[in-house]
Structure 1
């Protein structure tokens, strides 16, 4: 009966889409500039879009076309990435700096044009040069045609963007990360751009988020983790969520009192305002950073909170009332609790797959996610050598995949080099191997590594399976791995070393969650599968800023199919050209 009901619903959606097939063109103008914003009682010079932090939301209906006009008035070259948008047959619009295009130079303009087809839910957009995504980002909301949701229609939708407040220059931060100089910290966590009342300073008026809700109504929270460095736990005291979507893919409704969301991920969750016993009550919504245990570097207490206020008797009537009821706070998971994250991600299953999980695998890849070290002979921290035997005391620690630290090409974006058959001219080019050259050490020692522009070629329509393995020892992190231009089937996850003879039996080939960013557990692994049917050059990277900037990344070069409509089209005529002098040439997120 449930399967029949589901089929009837999706048939209704298809018929509604057919009867409302007049897709719209949604246009935005993003002016990128530097403005002074005040948080934590200080004026901080921030690079933002339209003077806003977070930036403006893009709201569209499935099937619409989008045109975003970028006016770069900042001092930095930059690109904008449409995180999770599949941009089918349109790799040129992906917005990955020096992968698909050169950065848009200061005092220059560029228009991104793409269609959004077959996707519904919450995604986001962000800068994809240097660490500028920490301040240049916003929600991208895709609604179904005829407003037909596969869950009770909400009375209101509320974006919740978890972010960080940095009081340092983000391009300088990226240079430090790129060279393996860790570890700088943000000054605060934020919800919708505000640190919340935990960060009050003397003499300043409290600035926090007040979310006004009414008893009995349903709210769709569109949650985005836009931070550089941490997975977050999100809770609202006295309330539960029903998770209905993740990374713009519907999931079977899952009820929980805590949401785990890694950098790059989005979660759609229904909140029912059901506090019948205290209709005027106030409750904290708390976002708390999850972090690895020692000996990993520990961040200071990193929490932001907003107030959820029942307002049946008038809007925000108790916000400044000193005699108002106290705000109830939730009991949060421990900051080192990794099990809650593991079970949250593992409990998600797909409501309906875009197509069946492919059974026959053409390419099997084992990607060891780790740290390596390199000797910077010309840098400020050179190698140390002895006379009896050469000893390299590597001072710079970088992220790696299969012991290769990714380096962006210096002058020509990979996609352009591929389109014009000049990939072989990139001096730093190197093939990404199937697996690590030395297996099973994973941070027992910090191995010497090399920097290279690693590329893995994939035939058109090949089924690819990747097992991501996080380090098992030492100073380590979980790893949110994001692939541009594709969604993954997330087949399984586990702790310890992946062993195919044991773990393949655990694969969910029936209703696995479909995501663009998979959280690879700390001290563990995750197995994913996708079909390489979108030609172009696609970036795969960890979405932690200190990992991606220092090289935990690679690229997939997906070849053309047999027909013209399965082949990469020519670049737009106004694609930005590279400059010899732009100061973020070698930087990405």
Structure 2
């Protein structure tokens, strides 16, 4: 432990030399299993520091962070700092067997990184199949010059709102089953800040609501995070509106809306003014879902409560009567609240309404005009969908709804396969220890062009079966340092019509445009916003639509790019971007930290995640 502390001191003395005002923010995360009871059932849950959600990390832009992770769980663990660019520090990105060896049970590891160039809300989560459902928390980054430098009125309070899932199953086992073609496993509920809310009950007793107490006339900054595994959510508060001011820790041009649409991986910062007549107002999170003929799965609405403090005058809200006359007619019937008084519930979008999400995301523009490169070096057209591979490695098999295939998720018809070697890709790349022969390059475009959004492709059938065959590979794409890359993501109807929240590690993306239907370069490139596009780390590709992004490959290292729907990730909708070193020391990846566990060709004691889970099957209850 003394050696680890000394390493941290050395690391941060060098970091603080850059900015004397920067602080070192230290945390200890103990990953363990605890019993939690919801819905009349006690469930063994893997959490950090005994809490769900996990602890928030609050820092100032430019600060350094050190998190000592103590793994007392039975699982291999890594933590990903979602949206943190990890500038020249790919070693701390936290993707098992891509950037690091996983942290074994009864082992420790210290993550050390700086947070530069972000203000707003990011988050942290496990990057182990399905365990991010319970291993996650907020990462809040405030301006270097204090809240007075916010580009919006200083809020009275800042409140994380984390939307998530409640599972009663062994989550790593669910991930293993889904990767191997079994899909009949679902969450038991949805949560706001760990609370299921009173739409769920146990033997007739309502579950606890998350309650936000507000004072009339005060302004609250909600830092909204979607930590759910499967669903995009619509968030509304009866009788109130949001002013959206940031997304993915970048300021956006403020705009007012009564609904926030947020996909897994995304964050949204929004101001809410407590200017309704004091009372009780439901905060509702409703998951949307692609309509039929798409497969319908169990997804659950949850709700919390916004409650005006009783020790303030009921006449203290400015403009309350005007607000209710404008919005009250659209609210649903009032419901009797848990304490006996009535609570107002909002009118929500339809469960199959996906256009509201499209409009919400299309409204995002950057508050400050970012410098968007005009010259583009590489163009990629990435088709996102499902397909199948033959079981047992066979070269041919019957497709469709036969039992001879495994359904996989793909990018340009290739499903990502985690490396079977015991040396992480980053280490192999840095030390030039080989492994290129085991990798396949992500193609510039799909092998076949077809009507990507043809609804006839959703059910099994003769048209779909012609396009279904796919392959599995450890898929990578190499970029020279500084290359400007344009990518168009095209969602498809192949066996499903889902949206796809695509997350790029180590870089931000300019969201240039998005649309519904099939992308048409001749027409759609004229719509690219090169003036004030939103800057994102997670871009939602709409249902049966497309999104065009641009990024600069200027952060050397090995970076994961994947869909943030956990079932798509488990099924292989991922790839690895390798950004080569530049020509100078400050454009090249430094060596790993001195305490970083490297293999140097000897990682025999570390089993890949898949093999370890195989060995552990007998230790867990079967699903």
The question of a shared fold, defined as TM-score above 0.5 by the shorter chain, is answered with yes
1:340 aligns with 2:368: no
The aligned counterpart of 2:499 is 478
For 1:96 and 1:522, locate their aligned partners in 2 and report how far apart those are by CA, in whole Å: 27
* Mapped partners of 2:195, 2:240: distance in 1: 22
Single out whichever of 528-537 and 473-482 deviates more from structure 2.
473-482
The match for 1:399 is 409
2:311, 2:566 → 1: CA distance? 44
Give 1:221's aligned residue. 222
Shift in Å, 1:233: 0.2
**Counterpart secondary structure, 1:418:** helix
Counterpart in 2 of 1:103? 102
CA drift of 1:474 comes to 4.8
From 332, 346, 358, the equivalent of 1:330 is 346
Q: 1:377 to 1:38 in 2, by over 3 A?
A: same
> Does residue 493 of structure 2 align to residue 495 of structure 1?
no
Find the counterpart in structure 2 of residue 296 from structure 1: 294
1:467-486 deviation digits (Å, cap 9, x = unpaired): 00000465221000000011
Q: How far apart, CA to CA, are the structure 1 residues paired with 2:59 and 2:606?
A: 37
Equivalent in the alignment of 1:14: none
Unmatched segments (≥5 aa) in structure 1: 1-17
| CA displacement 1:246-271 (0-9 Å, x = unmatched) | 00000010100000000000000000
Contact 2:223–2:269, Cα closer than 8 Å, also in 1: yes
Shift of 1:517: 0.3
Residues in 2 aligned to 1:385 and 1:243: alpha-carbon distance in whole angstroms:
50
Provide the secondary structure at the position in 1 that maps to 2:391: coil
Is residue 130–residue 584 contact of structure 1 (8 Å, CA) maintained in 2?
Answer: no
Q: Alpha-carbon deviations, 1:311-333, whole Å to 9, x = none?
A: 14269xxx998774311000000
Q: Looking at secondary structure, tell me which structure has more helix per residue.
A: 2
Deviations 1:66-125 (A, max 9, x none): 000000000011100000001100000000111101100000000000000111000000
Per-residue deviation, residues 420-479 of structure 1 (Å, max 9, x unmatched) = 11343553x101110111122544515111110011000100000000000046522100
Work out whether residues 235 and 286 of structure 1, in 8 Å CA contact, stay in contact via their aligned partners in 2.
yes
Deviations 1:337-367 (A, max 9, x none): 01100000000100014x4111110010000
Give me the whole-angstrom Cα distance separating, in 1, the residues matched to 2:168 and 2:292: 26
Q: Please give the per-residue CA displacement for 1:538-572, whole angstroms capped at 9, x wherever unaligned.
A: 00000001101110000110000110111011112
Question: Deviations 1:405-428 (Å, cap 9, x if unpaired)?
Answer: 00111222111111011343553x
2:40 maps to what in 1?
41
Q: Check whether the contact 1:131–1:173 (CA below 8 A) recurs between aligned residues.
A: yes
Give the aligned partner of residue 237 of structure 1.
Answer: 238
CA RMSD of aligned residues (A): 2.5
| C-alpha distance after superposition, 1:262-308 (max 9, x if no partner) | 00000000000001xx22x1000000001111222213351110011
> TM-score, normalized by length of structure 2?
0.86
Confirm or deny that 1:469 pairs with 2:469: no
Give the conservation status (yes or no) of the 8 Å contact 1:363–1:463: yes
Partners in 2 of 1:167 and 1:568 — Cα distance?
42
Q: Report if the CA contact (8 A) 2:197-2:206 is conserved.
A: no
- Per mean C-alpha deviation after superposition, the further-off stretch among 234-243 and 34-43 is 34-43
TM-superposed CA distance for 1:172, in Å, is 0.4
Tell whether 2:25 aligns with 1:26.
yes
Q: Which aligned pairs between 1:184-223 and structure 2 lie closer than 5 A?
A: 184-202=185-203, 204=205, 206-223=207-224
Aligned to 1:6: none
2:222·2:272 contact (CA, 8 Å) conserved in 1?
yes
1:55-74 pair list within 5 angstroms:
55-74=54-73
In the TM superposition, 1:186-585 aligns within 5 A as 186-202=187-203, 204=205, 206-275=207-276, 278-279=277-278, 281-313=279-311, 324-353=340-369, 355-377=370-392, 394-410=404-420, 411-424=422-435, 427=438, 429-442=439-452, 443=457, 445-446=464-465, 447-472=468-493, 474-576=495-597, 578=603, 580=605, 582=607, 584-585=609-610
Residues 140-182 of structure 1: per-residue CA shift (max 9 Å, x gap): 0000023210100000011000000011111101101212322
Pair 1:120 & 2:110 matched: no
Q: Name the TM-score, length of structure 1 as normaliser.
A: 0.91
Q: Could you tell me how far apart the structure 1 residues matched to 2:402 and 2:210 are?
A: 51
- Asked whether the equivalents of residues 105 and 582 of structure 1 are also in contact (C-alpha less than 8 Å), the reply is no
Residue aligning to 2:180: 179
> Partners in 1 of 2:124 and 2:337 — Cα distance?
38
Distance 1:102 1:173 in 2: 22
Contact 2:386–2:495 under 8 Å retained in 1: no
Compute the displacement of 1:394 (Å): 4.2
CA displacement at 1:203 relative to structure 2: 5.5
The match for 2:14 is none
SS across alignment from 1:396: strand
Matched-pair contact (CA < 8 Å) for 1:384–1:393: no
2: distance between equivalents of 1:433 and 1:29? 42
**Contact 1:366 / 1:434 at 8 angstroms: preserved in 2?**
yes
Q: Which stretch shows the higher mean deviation, 567-576 or 403-412?
A: 567-576
Query: Given that residues 385 and 494 in structure 2 are in contact (C-alpha distance below 8 angstroms), is that contact kept between their aligned partners in structure 1?
Result: no
Helix, strand or coil at the partner of 1:374 = strand
Q: Which stretch of the first structure deviates more once superposed, 250-259 or 411-420?
A: 411-420
Q: Aligned partners of 1:246, 1:385: CA distance in 2, in Å?
A: 45
Note closer, same or farther for the CA distance 1:186–1:359 as it changes in structure 2 (3 Å cut).
Answer: same
Aligned mates of 1:71, 1:322 — CA distance in 2: 39
Count of residue pairs the alignment pairs up:
558
| C-alpha contact (below 8 Å) 1:231/1:262 kept by paired residues | yes
Give the secondary-structure state (helix, strand or coil) at the position aligned to 1:463: strand
Higher relative contact order (CA closer than 8 Å, sequence separation 6+): 1
- Whole-Å separation in 2 of the counterparts to 1:520 and 1:113: 32
Residue 205 (structure 1) shift: 6.0
Looking at structure 2, the residues matched to 423 and 179 of structure 1 have their Cα atoms a distance apart, in angstroms, of 28
Alpha-carbon distance between aligned partners in 1 of 2:374 and 2:479, rounded to the nearest angstrom: 18
CA distance in 2, matches of 1:234, 1:268: 12
Aligned mates of 2:346, 2:304 — CA distance in 1: 12
**1:549 and 1:39, CA in 2 relative to 1: closer, same or farther beyond 3 A?**
same
Identify the range of structure 1 (116-125 vs 142-151) with the bigger mean alpha-carbon deviation: 142-151
Distance (Å, rounded) in 2 between the aligned partners of 1:583 and 1:567: 28
In the alignment, the residues of structure 2 paired with residue 134 and residue 229 of structure 1 have an alpha-carbon distance, to the nearest angstrom, of 10
Question: 2: distance between equivalents of 1:105 and 1:406?
Answer: 24
Alpha-carbon distance, 1:581 to partner: 5.8
